[in-house]
Each structure stands twice: as C-alpha cells, then as structure tokens.
C-alpha cells in the first residue's frame, strides 16, 4: 500500500482560547519561533571556543551549524503535515520538548560527537514545532486584522531572529560560556511547553491518510539538496559527492511531485500553488533568504577580521537592521489592506537592492557610521516590507485543514533559499578571494574583495525578487 490509514479518535473540539489570553498565546508562539530561528545563527560567534573546548576538527566544526540546518530543513514538510493529521498543539508541544531536552544535552556535551547528536535532535524538534507554530497562529486568530497583525509579527521574528542570534550569542559567549548559548533555551522551552498546554487551543484530529511515499521522498529529497548546498559551500561545486547529492535531491523532488499529483491526502497539496499570489509569495520566500544570508555571513567576518570588532560589538552592529525590520513589520497590518502586496513587495525589494548596492562599495577603510549604518537600515526596512506580507498572503486564505502543510512548505522554502544562497555566495567569495590573493592583496583586502563580489550577486537575487513582486495582483485601496 502506498499510504497508511491512521485511525484517529472522534475529535472533541477544545474551547477556543479566551480573548484575554490571546496576547499570551501569541507571545508563546512567537517566542518559540524566535528561539528556533536564533539557533541557526546564535552559535556562530561561539564556534572558536567550542573548537578549543571539544577539540573539533575544522571540518567537524562546520557541522555544529550544518547538522541543525540539514535536519531542520529536511523534515519541515513532514512536520507540517503531521501537525495537520495528529493535532498541531500536540506536535508543537512534542517538538519544543524535544528541542529543549536536546539543548540541555548539548550544553552538557563532553565530546564533539555528543554535541553534534544534540544539534541533530534540536533540528528534529524544530521541524516538528516550526510548521505548527504558524499554523496555530492562523487557526487561533480568525479575525482578519488580528490574524494579519499576528502573521506580520511572526515574519518579523523569523527575519530579525538571525541578527538577534548574533547579539545573544555574543553576549552569552563573552560574559558566560558557549554552553550558555544552549542552556538559555531550557527555561524558555519549559515555559513555552507549559503555556502551550494551558492556553493554546488544540486543532481537531481527523481520520486521514499519511502520505508515506510523499513523506519519504520529500524528506530525503530536501535533505539531499540541503546537504549538497552545504557541502558546495565547504568544498566547491566540482566535488563528486556534492554533485551526487544535488542530483539525487532533484530526482527525489521530481518523484515527490509525481506522487503528490496522485496521492489522496498529499503531504504538500499542490493546490496551494494554484493561487497566483500564493505561488509568487512562496518563490519570494525562497529568494529573500538567498539575498539576505550574505549580509549576515560576510559582514560578520568583515566586522571582526577587518574592522576588529569583538563578538559582542559585532552582534550589536546588526541591531539597527533588526530594529528597523521589526518596526516596519508592525506597519504591515495597516499597509497591506490599503495597498495590497504588490507595491509593498516591490518597494521593499527595491530598498534591498539599494542596500546591497551600497555594501558592494565597502573598502578596508569603511567606517561603520559611513559605510554600514545606512545599508543596515535599508536592508531592515526592505526585508520588512518585501517579506512580512508573504506570511499573510500564504496563510490568510489557506484552508484550515492544510495550514500545517502550508506552514511547512513556507519554512522549507526559507531554509532551502538561505542554504542555496550561502553556497552560491561562498563559492563566489572563494573564487574572488583566490584571485585577489594571486594579485598580491593584503588579507583584509582579500576578504573585503570577496565579500563585495558576493554582495554583487546578492543584488541580482534581490532584483529577481522585485520581478516576482510584479506578478502579484494589483488591488484597489480600501
């Protein structure tokens, strides 16, 4: 049999969250999302101390980051559909509990192997909880303006979490220890799990078929693509294993699409892509992280290696971008009903292009106020306007039964885009750096040249997101 029927008890609909609890429900869900995104970047600044403490090899050290990203990205589609089938609050609580236990184990790790195992378990927990987070927001906040506001805040957390992760990682590593970067998840994870059980309404369970062939091909396909992109960033695009992983991933994704076309209850209902605006939003959720990841990755190195910023100062250098992004996202509930997604996404993408263009002009002598502050603000405002509406576009009209699958697909596109973008840009950086070294440039000049050339590619990607924004339907003002 291609699909397995899951007997489920007759659902007993729980009472909806009380109006007085809605703020706390939203805070619980948003804190979870922030914590999951933080762990993508929060350990960046702690890696040197982790290497010294646990005696990681340089190659093994990269898997402290990649192990989490690979499992998180590979299991998101399965986690999203599992929430639809088994109950979203149930998956949310189980996922955040696993994530919390894994964080504690990672903080206590006495060997490299134990830390990597904990990071993989964190990725599994994040993939279980993440899609249900956005699905629970959609089904809990049913009034249009409240849902739009909640989804805009979710987007702000998802985007600014990368920058906040650098700040938190710098603070904890410099003041306490790299282990505190993992231990900090424990009290927040416990609080989130308890509040979710008490306040977050459970969605109905229903008799459904779990699309096992779709789940297997999607998980292995996305996992192979993510692994291929990560390996390409480490060893280059000519590596045999890299090419084999990417080819296998592409073949599995093609098989996945064929399975979904025939499945009775697909893990990713392709009808979600039938709406033009929703399909365009998914594409831009792929392109946005592709362009944005270069700023976090290369500017972190530029600030520390060229401008001699400390880990904590580097984290705070991203604060204007995070603050602008969050403030802009708060305006989305007012701006989106009035103007529609098209002008907001176009203007936001144009701001991103402008910010990236300014970053291509960096030199070894550029100061933070003159060379970096303005691009940070432009990127924060651009990302807020261009991508905060996308959550609303995707989730506001999706059928409730497919909310988990839609949320899983959304976050999968985000993970794939960020991973692929980083692999492409690191390749550009490496090629440019080798040429600069051969030309006799200093180490600071080599890094700056490689970073600015990578930013040029990011300009092209941001421009593509502008072109995709042109396909959104024009909407009259209300």
Whether residue 119 is contained in a domain is answered as yes
Q: How far apart are CA 36 and CA 81, in angstroms?
A: 19
Per-residue pLDDT of the chain (478 residues; tens, 9 = 90+): 344 343 333 343 344 444 347 778 888 888 888 888 777 777 777 777 787 788 776 556 667 777 787 788 778 777 777 777 778 888 889 999 999 999 999 889 888 889 989 998 998 998 888 888 877 887 777 777 777 777 777 777 776 676 677 777 777 777 788 888 888 889 999 999 998 888 877 666 655 566 678 778 877 887 788 778 777 767 777 888 888 988 998 899 899 888 878 877 777 777 777 788 888 888 888 888 888 776 777 887 788 788 888 777 877 888 888 888 878 877 877 787 777 778 888 898 899 999 999 999 988 888 888 888 999 899 888 888 888 788 777 877 777 667 777 777 777 787 778 777 877 887 888 788 888 888 888 888 888 888 898 899 899 998 998 998 888 876 544 3
Domain boundary among 244, 264, 284: 264
Whether residue 10 is contained in a domain is answered as no
Same domain, 182 and 117: yes
Same domain, 105 and 242: no
Domain boundary among 264, 298, 330: 264
- Count other Cβ atoms within 10 Å, centred on residue 290: 26
Same domain, 258 and 273: no
Same domain, 251 and 358: no
Same domain, 227 and 319: no
Whether residue 123 is contained in a domain is answered as yes
Tell me the sheet residues that pair with 208: 6
Whether residue 402 is contained in a domain is answered as yes
Whether residue 475 is contained in a domain is answered as no
Q: How many domains does the chain have?
A: 2
Whether residue 239 is contained in a domain is answered as yes
Domain boundary among 264, 285, 308: 264
Same domain, 105 and 215: no
Same domain, 82 and 67: yes
Size (the chain), residues: 478
Whether residue 11 is contained in a domain is answered as no
Same domain, 124 and 243: no
The domain containing residue 307 runs over which residues? 19-210+265-469
Same domain, 142 and 183: yes
| Residues whose CB falls within 8 Å of the CB of residue 294, separated by 6 or more in sequence, listed in order | 421, 422, 425, 454, 455, 457, 458
Stated pTM of the model? 0.75
State how far Cα 28 lies from the chain centre.
18
Same domain, 329 and 245: no
Whether residue 280 is contained in a domain is answered as yes
Residue that has been written with the tokens 């696993």 in this structure: 98
Same domain, 88 and 184: yes
How much is the CA Rg of the chain, to the nearest whole Å?
A: 21
Same domain, 246 and 309: no
Residue that has been written with the tokens 């996305």 in this structure: 222
Report the CATH number that the domain containing residue 116 is assigned in CATH: 1.20.1250.20
Quick check: helix, strand or coil at residue 160?
Answer: helix
């Amino acid at each position: 049999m291609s699909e397995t029927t899951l007997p489920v008890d007759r659902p007993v609909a729980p009472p909806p969250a009380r109006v007085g609890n809605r703020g706390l429900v939203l805070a619980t869900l948003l804190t979870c999302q922030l914590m999951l995104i933080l762990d993508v970047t929060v350990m960046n600044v702690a890696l040197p101390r982790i290497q010294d403490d646990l005696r990681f090899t340089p190659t093994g050290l990269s898997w402290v980051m990649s192990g989490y990203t690979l499992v998180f990205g590979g299991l998101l589609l399965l986690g999203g559909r599992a929430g639809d089938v088994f109950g979203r609050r149930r998956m949310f609580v189980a996922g955040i509990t696993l994530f919390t236990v894994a964080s504690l184990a990672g903080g206590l790790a006495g060997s490299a192997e134990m830390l990597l195992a904990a990071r993989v378990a964190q990725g599994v927990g994040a993939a279980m909880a993440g899609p249900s987070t956005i699905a629970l927001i959609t089904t809990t906040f049913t009034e249009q303006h409240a849902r739009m506001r909640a989804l805009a805040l979710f987007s702000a957390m998802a985007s600014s979490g990368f920058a906040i992760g650098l700040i938190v990682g710098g603070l904890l590593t410099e003041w306490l220890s790299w282990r505190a970067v993992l231990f900090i998840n424990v009290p927040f994870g416990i609080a989130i799990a308890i509040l979710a059980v008490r306040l977050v309404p459970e969605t109905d369970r229903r008799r459904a078929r779990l699309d096992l062939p779709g789940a297997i091909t999607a998980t292995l396909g996305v996992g192979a693509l993510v692994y291929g992109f990560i390996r390409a960033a480490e060893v280059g695009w000519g590596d045999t294993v890299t090419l084999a992983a990417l080819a296998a991933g592409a073949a599995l994704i093609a098989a996945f699409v064929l399975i979904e076309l025939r499945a009775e209850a697909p893990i990713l209902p392709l009808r979600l892509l039938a709406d033009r605006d929703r399909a365009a939003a998914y594409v831009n959720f792929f392109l946005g992280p592709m362009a944005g990841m270069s700023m976090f990755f290369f500017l972190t190195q530029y600030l520390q290696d060229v401008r001699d910023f400390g880990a904590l100062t580097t984290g705070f250098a991203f604060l204007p971008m995070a603050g602008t992004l969050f403030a802009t996202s708060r305006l989305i509930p007012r701006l989106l009903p009035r103007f529609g997604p098209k002008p907001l996404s176009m203007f936001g993408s144009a701001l991103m292009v402008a910010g990236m263009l300014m970053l291509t002009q960096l030199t070894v002598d550029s100061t933070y106020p003159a060379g970096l502050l303005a691009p940070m603000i432009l990127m924060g405002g651009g990302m807020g306007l261009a991508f905060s509406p996308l959550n609303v576009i995707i989730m506001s009209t999706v059928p409730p039964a497919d909310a988990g699958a839609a949320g899983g697909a959304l976050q999968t596109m985000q993970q794939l885009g960020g991973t692929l973008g980083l692999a492409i840009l690191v390749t550009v950086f490496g090629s440019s750096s080798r040429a600069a070294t051969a030309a006799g440039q200093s180490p600071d000049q080599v890094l700056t040249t490689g970073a600015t050339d990578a930013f040029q590619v990011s300009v092209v990607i941001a421009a593509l997101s502008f072109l995709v924004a042109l396909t959104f339907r024009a909407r009259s003002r209300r």
